[in-house]
């Protein structure tokens, strides 16, 4: 009987395309009234985005292959009112629900007004990012929402 001589069993996934979604609460980002240091600043946002874009560059492993961030899309609620105070209030509450911004169309699921579509360009199993096309429909952004691609 032949012995199985491995360090473990790992399933082989030739290529995987993953989507991660996250949120920053405008209310929690303000911090506490008596503690300005608890606030989430523009510099904090820039550091977070830089970390997300480069996180796979600092965590290489033979078992994971080559992982990388292929796109970063940030929705910012800015409001629509002409009154600056009211616009800030609108932005704090959000100008569109999260599912409206984050639900995306795929080759399996058509979403008529999706802002981002991710579709395969080949009939078989994808083996690289080139086997997909990512389409951003800026014209479908709800009023009061900006899309940043840092």
Q: Where are the domains of the chain?
A: 26-31+41-55+69-148
CA distance from start to end of the chain: 57
In this structure, the number of other CB atoms found within 10 A of the CB of residue 98 comes to 11
| E-only strand ranges, 3-142 | 74-77, 105-106, 116-120, 132-136
Q: Which of 125, 107, 126 has its CA nearest to residue 117?
A: 107
Tokens of residue 148, six digits: 């940043």
What is the average pLDDT across 57-84? 87
Q: Which of 143, 146, 147, 26 has its CA nearest to residue 81?
A: 143
Beta-carbon contacts of 82 under 8 Å, excluding residues fewer than 6 positions away, are none
Average pLDDT, the chain: 87
Q: What confidence score (pLDDT) does residue 65 get? A: 74
- Given a cut of 70, is residue 48 above it in pLDDT? yes
Q: Which of 95, 77, 71, 90 has its CA nearest to residue 146?
A: 77
DSSP strand pairing (116-120 vs 105-106): parallel
Q: Highest-confidence range of 24-28, 106-110, 127-131, by mean pLDDT?
A: 127-131
What is the average pLDDT across 71-94? 95
Helix H or strand E encompassing 148: strand 145-148
Q: Which of 38, 34, 17 has its CA nearest to residue 127?
A: 17
- Given a cut of 70, is residue 1 above it in pLDDT? no
Confidence band for 88, pLDDT divided at 50, 70 and 90: very high
User: What are the pLDDT digits (tens) for 112-127?
Assistant: 899 999 999 999 989 9
Confidence band for 83, pLDDT divided at 50, 70 and 90: very high
Beta-carbon contacts of 30 under 8 Å, excluding residues fewer than 6 positions away, are 39, 40
Half-sphere exposure of 40 (CA within 13 A, CB side): 12
Confidence band for 12, pLDDT divided at 50, 70 and 90: confident
Q: What confidence score (pLDDT) does residue 16 get? A: 87
What is the average pLDDT across 20-24? 91
């Amino acid at each position: 009987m032949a012995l199985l001589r491995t360090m473990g069993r790992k399933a082989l996934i030739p290529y995987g395309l993953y989507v991660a979604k996250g949120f920053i609460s405008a209310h929690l980002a303000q911090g506490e009234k008596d503690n300005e240091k608890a606030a989430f600043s523009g510099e904090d946002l820039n550091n977070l985005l830089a970390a997300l874009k480069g996180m796979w560059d600092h965590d290489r492993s033979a078992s994971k292959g080559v992982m990388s961030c292929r796109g970063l899309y940030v929705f910012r609620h800015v409001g629509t009112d002409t009154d600056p105070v009211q616009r800030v209030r609108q932005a704090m509450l959000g100008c569109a629900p999260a599912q409206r911004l984050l639900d995306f169309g795929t080759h399996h699921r058509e979403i008529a007004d999706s802002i981002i579509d991710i579709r395969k360009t080949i009939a078989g199993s994808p083996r690289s990012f080139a086997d997909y096309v990512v389409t951003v429909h800026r014209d479908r952004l709800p009023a009061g929402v900006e899309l940043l691609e840092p």
